[in-house]
């Protein structure tokens, strides 16, 4: 493949939307010292400005209490308190890391929850979020306003006005996050947004925080028709989203997540488990939650296409994709590989004109949405492993973070081929990012790419950073160790050191005002060339 970068090519700003925010697990984890340390590392190394997590109102944060929870004496439930101190400790850790919270208002405290026959109270996740509407909206409004007033008292109104308040998470997914109708979510949003604005009209509030780019059109129509405040739009997109994208359907039209009945799925799952020889928890989990990115032919352009549609739906409002990544399947082994690295840099470049900010899911494997696996590399969503070992996606995003503020306009087709590329200027340097992105980890021979770069004078040097099978691949080194379930501190340090991506000199030719550089990329390799 030949890549030509003319000296007089037009330029445009390098839009760093992915540095707006990053996702993480649920709020209780933000109280941990290792979480805080890794968050600081992500901020310092990648320049990410905010962090978003679930469950600030989950009962493990103990925000809404009554005396009967401790002493089940008749009448004790009348003695109540709000206690947001654990929330403050989580936010203190975020601020101490040099970041700001992107506040996801979720989930329902049990004391406020609607306990209605026929509704499942808890979501499917490890930390058991309560996913029903409030029993009493007046009580919910008072609770929300107490929370906002607490934050203003602790941090000051000027600071809180720089945070973003998002109402709930993925209310279109009833099995996981919201056991209510779409209209019930819209009411929850309206009641919450109005409650916040009654305390301080300058605090930004938005939603609908849906999966697969859904509900934006009907959400905004509801807000317009009912004079409900909305300052920004949020939604999510994964390449492997189980429900597909940009649908605006009513509750009765929701398709089955799995395309089959629960009984059919359970029968198939039981048969699959029976055939697994090595019956570790992780192996069984992977059988029940197969890696769709390897078993199905998933398109790699869904984020680009859907974000363009949602951009039009959002109009002039800021559009934030508050979750996105290559894979929506927790424990997929490919989450630890460079496949995520190649996809994320491609997607980040392709959606830059559609979104105002985004949040890759997520920064660390300090995460227990479905299960807290002991293995260091268990297919978690994180850029870092549980002990802070950078994965390939971290190094790929570090390349994007280090790229200059000026992007050379090479046309939209530059990122769409099997080998995609982008170029940047940083002072006197020209930087070239290349990636060979495929949705499956196929064993294919390397592809040659020859770059012709027009320059006013010969370069002093060319250097390369790369993510490939032998660079930035801690998973392979861990497997060479025998995949130990427990790591010593010395082993963690060794894996970090031996898998680190470093700059290396690279050969080039110079003739007639042109530098020529050749590279060979394997599937899902990511290369970053710096021409000085």
> Which residues neighbour 362 within 8 Å (Cβ) at sequence distance 6 or greater?
22, 23, 24, 25, 381, 382, 383
- Answer yes or no: is 336 within a domain: no
If you ran DSSP here, which 8-state letter would residue 29 be given? G
- Does 144 or 291 have the greater pLDDT score? 144
DSSP assignment string, 445-490:
--EEEEEEEE-SS--S-EEEEEEBTTBS-HHHHHHHTT--SS--HH
In a domain, 256, yes or no: yes
Q: Does residue 418 lie within any of the structural domains?
A: no
Specify the pLDDT at position 336: 98
Confidence band of 516 (pLDDT split at 50, 70, 90): very high
Mean pLDDT, the chain, integer: 94
pLDDT (0 to 100) of residue 259:
57
Please determine, for residue 470, whether its predicted confidence score (pLDDT) is greater than 50.
Answer: yes
Helix axes 338-350, 392-402, angle to 10 degrees: 30
Range of the domain at 197: 14-312+350-383
Number of domains comprising the chain? 1
pLDDT for the residue numbered 240: 66
* Lowest-pLDDT range of 145-159, 288-302, 359-373: 288-302
> Is 244's pLDDT higher than 50?
no
Residue 376 lies in a domain: yes
Average pLDDT of the residues in 440-468: 96
Evaluate whether 161 touches 202 at the Cβ level (below 8 Å): yes
How far apart are alpha carbons 59 and 62 in whole angstroms?
5
The domain spanning residue 46 has which CATH number? 3.20.20.80
- What percentage of the chain reaches a pLDDT higher than 70? 96
For residue 118, tell me if it sits in a domain: yes
Flag the least confident range among 19-28, 30-39, 265-274, 315-324: 265-274
For range 215-223, the mean pLDDT: 97
Distance CA 73, CA 522 (A): 67
Residue 241 confidence (pLDDT):
65
pLDDT of residue 507: 97
308 vs 54: CA distance, rounded Å: 26
Radius of gyration (C-alpha) of the chain in whole angstroms? 24
pLDDT at 49: 98
Does 520 map to a domain?
A: no
Asked if residue 327 is part of any domain, the answer here is no
pLDDT of residue 256: 45
Q: For the residues 446-470, what does the mean pLDDT come to?
A: 97
Kindly state whether residue 263 falls inside one of the protein's structural domains. Answer: yes
Question: So what's the pLDDT on residue 288?
Answer: 84
pLDDT tens by residue, 48-61: 999 999 999 999 99
Res 243: pLDDT: 45
Across residues 464-478, what is the average pLDDT?
A: 98
First to last CA, the chain: 23
pLDDT of residue 252: 43
pLDDT exceeds cutoff 80 at 258: no
Question: What's the average model confidence in pLDDT over 414-423?
Answer: 96
Q: What is the pLDDT of residues 337-356, one digit of tens each?
A: 999 999 999 999 999 999 99
pLDDT digits (tens, 9 = 90+) for 166-193: 999 999 998 899 999 999 999 999 999 9
What pLDDT is attached to residue 52?
98
Note the pLDDT tens digit of each residue in 61-114: 999 998 888 888 999 888 989 999 999 999 999 999 999 999 999 999 999 999
């Amino acid at each position: 493949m030949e890549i030509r970068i003319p000296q007089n090519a037009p330029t445009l700003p390098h839009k760093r939307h992915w540095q707006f925010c990053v996702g993480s697990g649920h709020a209780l984890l933000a109280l941990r010292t290792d979480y805080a340390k890794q968050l600081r590392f992500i901020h310092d190394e990648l320049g990410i400005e905010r962090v978003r997590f679930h469950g600030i109102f989950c009962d493990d944060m103990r925000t809404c209490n009554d005396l009967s929870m401790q002493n089940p004496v008749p009448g004790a439930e009348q003695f109540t308190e709000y206690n947001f101190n654990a929330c403050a400790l989580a936010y203190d850790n975020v601020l101490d890391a040099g970041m700001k919270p992107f506040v996801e208002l979720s989930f329902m405290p049990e004391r406020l929850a609607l306990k209605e026959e026929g509704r499942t109270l808890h979501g499917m996740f490890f930390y058991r979020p309560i996913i029903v509407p409030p029993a009493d909206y007046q009580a919910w409004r008072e609770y929300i306003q107490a929370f906002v007033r607490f934050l203003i008292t602790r941090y000051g109104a000027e600071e809180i006005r720089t945070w973003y308040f998002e109402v709930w998470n993925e209310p279109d997914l009833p099995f996981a996050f919201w056991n209510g109708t779409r209209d019930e979510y819209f009411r929850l949003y309206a009641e919450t947004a109005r409650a916040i604005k009654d305390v301080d009209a300058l605090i930004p509030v938005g939603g609908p925080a849906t999966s697969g780019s859904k509900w934006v059109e009907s959400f905004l129509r509801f807000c317009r028709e009912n004079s409900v405040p909305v300052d920004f739009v949020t939604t999510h997109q994964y390449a492997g989203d189980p429900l597909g994208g940009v649908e605006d359907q009513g509750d009765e039209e929701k398709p089955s997540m799995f395309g089959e009945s629960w009984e059919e799925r359970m029968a198939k799952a039981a048969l699959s488990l029976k055939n697994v020889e090595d019956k570790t928890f992780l192996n069984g989990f992977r059988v029940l939650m197969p890696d769709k990115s390897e078993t199905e032919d998933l398109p790699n352009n869904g984020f680009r296409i859907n974000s363009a549609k949602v951009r039009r739906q959002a109009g002039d409002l800021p559009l934030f994709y508050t979750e996105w990544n290559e894979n929506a399947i927790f424990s997929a082994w490919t989450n630890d590989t460079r496949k995520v690295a190649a996809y994320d840099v491609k997607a980040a470049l392709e959606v830059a004109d559609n979104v105002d900010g985004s949040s890759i899911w997520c920064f660390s494997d300090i995460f227990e949405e479905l299960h807290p696996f002991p293995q260091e590399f268990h297919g978690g969503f994180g850029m870092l492993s549980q002990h802070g070992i950078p994965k390939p996606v971290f190094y790929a995003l570090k390349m994007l973070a280090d790229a200059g503020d000026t992007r050379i306009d090479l046309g939209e087709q530059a990122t769409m081929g099997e080998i995609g590329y982008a170029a940047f200027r940083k002072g006197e340097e020209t930087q070239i990012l290349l990636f060979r992105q495929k949705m499956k980890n196929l064993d294919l021979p390397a592809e040659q790419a020859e770059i012709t770069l027009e320059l006013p004078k010969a370069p002093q040097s060319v250097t390369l950073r790369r993510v490939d099978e032998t660079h930035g691949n801690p998973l392979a080194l861990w497997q060479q160790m025998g995949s130990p379930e427990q790591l010593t501190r010395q082993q963690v340090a060794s894996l970090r050191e031996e898998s680190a991506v470093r700059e290396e000199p690279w050969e080039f030719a110079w003739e007639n005002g042109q530098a020529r550089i050749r590279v060979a990329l394997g599937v899902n390799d990511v290369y970053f060339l710096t021409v000085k």
